[in-house]
Chains A and B, each alone.
Chain A
């Protein structure tokens, strides 16, 4: 019997010939990722008796959750982190404005094929877009990695999703992700490693592939994997911080769940309040009033997403009753969007463009909704209270639909604007 990606990479990292699902292994990650929560992790690290971090080169610390600081308390938190980074000599530190940690990790060539990324953030499976094994962990676990260099992991069962066919016009990887989450459910892949295969996945660009690895967290998965190909290697050409060795699953590996999807049958999908698996076709809920539209986040804040939104907004104005917020996922995305003219399109349409980071996604700042308001967002979570108040609603959609809805002031299919 062959081995899945998760089995192969965890066996390799644990120094074992092979491992089986359910087995516990001790591994040292290639990257330990933390963000604004680095300061509370430091508190736990000290409780553990920690002084110097294990291998400073292993750590990537990227400030993104509340950046630039919206309050003195947040600013103090950032200062503690900067002092810590300096004291410990951690080279891979990215201060406010560089971008969202998952995106920056990819852009900086730190998420590499065949490597393990452990992050104290639930969207760490994002790194699977590069063929890395990315998994989220708790803060105490991160502190323990700082102290000891290793952590226990349970070898996960695996899910194999194969997607064939082509995406129809106006349909993006986001719709595929929502369609699959709606099908499998928010607990459909608990503790599992989800592999995405098939000709559609091969055809997608890296930006769209990242939507899939990112959203895999919303099925309860531990990790996500897309087989790295020439597109990945070319992207990493002048970025990779280290030599890397891709890992591929065996064709006869054993999967707990095997699913096949035909992309050509998928239409624009919406995750309705208040769970990500409450997915309905756009046609079911078109016309729902919105107060705010948000383009950004680690899910859909990349150049191709901004291009899609700018395409819809070109020569149009957002509705009088509606606010639109655009936040590029990173400073690199921001610069490219400026050169391509997208930023000008957004400003001309009446949108607000803000500095790279997580923005209002988890309710910190930069455009949180008022009580009773409705937001349509390109993000990955719509839990009750996610954007600050429990008394508001969040609909998740692809960037084309978010932009079209901003123009109409209601949830709208972009083709209906033409």
Chain B
């Protein structure tokens, strides 16, 4: 989101326990290293229509344990680079969740919304307020913690760390 709080986009809906091997296949982990190249392999083994069809600010809505398995960061990078606006799930695998927040890709936990939202519908998320607006109504989620918003605003953990490092050096 890189600082913007409202995300409005079309939904790609998936099920439970989607693992990182189908989000970004392991066979590409050493052959595709440029983030720009990654979106064309996104969800290759889950949904062959996703990579060509995804539009900026689209939103993935998923069941439990999204991103389980290997901790590979490319499984987040390929979606972030594709322009995806957010992922709303019933739950996330822990390291995947952290990788999302550190890549400034909102990962929101809202089980009720997941059940209510249909594939292809357009929804709106207010990340700062903690609301999801969809055809079935409005649902609330625990807002992204203020401590992590700082990383979002910087555009992710890499620019955030660079900024802090520069600041420390300036002080010294």
Contact = CB atoms under 8 A, between A and B. Distances in A.
B99 A186 contact: no
B51 interface: no
A168 interface: no
Nearest to B30: A73
B161 A144 contact: yes
Nearest to B103: A140
Interface residues of A, number: 34
A48 B91 contact: no
A141 B157 contact: yes
A383 interface: yes
Contact of A139 (B26, B65, B68, B73): B73
Contact of A48 (B68, B92, B158): B158
Contact of A24 (B99, B102, B148, B160): B148
A190 B93 contact: yes
Given A141-B157, A220-B68, A190 B102 contact: no
B157 A148 contact: no
A280 interface: no
A44 interface: yes
A345 to B, nearest CB: 35
Contact of B71 (A138, A191, A222, A384): A138
Interface in A126-169: 136-141, 143-144, 147-148, 152, 154
Contacts of A44: 158
Interface residues of B, number: 36
A47 interface: yes
Contact of B166 (A24, A49, A154, A221): A49
B21 to A, nearest CB: 7
B165 A147 contact: yes
Given A122-B71, A186-B17, A187-B91, A48 B161 contact: yes
Nearest to A363: B26
Contacts of B148: 24, 152
Contacts of A187: 17, 64-65, 68, 91, 93
B8 to A, nearest CB: 27
Contacts of B93: 187, 190, 220
B158 A47 contact: yes
Nearest to B169: A49
Contacts of B98: 137-138, 141
Given A138-B73, A152-B148, A222-B94, A385 B26 contact: yes
Given A48-B158, A220-B68, A383-B21, A140 B165 contact: no
A372 interface: no
A48 B95 contact: no
A165 to B, nearest CB: 31
B97 A191 contact: yes
Nearest to B92: A190
Given A140-B73, A190-B93, A147 B21 contact: no
Given A138-B95, A138-B98, A383-B19, A49 B145 contact: no
B142 interface: yes
29 contacts: A22-B142, A24-B145, A24-B146, A24-B148, A44-B158, A48-B161, A48-B165, A49-B161, A122-B71, A122-B95, A136-B94, A138-B73, A138-B95, A138-B98, A140-B73, A143-B161, A144-B157, A144-B161, A148-B164, A148-B165, A186-B68, A187-B64, A187-B65, A187-B93, A190-B92, A191-B97, A220-B68, A383-B19, A383-B21
Given A144-B161, A383-B21, 12 more contacts: A22-B142, A26-B147, A48-B158, A139-B73, A140-B103, A144-B160, A147-B164, A186-B68, A191-B94, A191-B97, A222-B94, A385-B21
* The 5 residue pairs across chains A and B that have the minimum distance between CB atoms: A187-B65, A24-B147, A24-B145, A48-B161, A144-B161
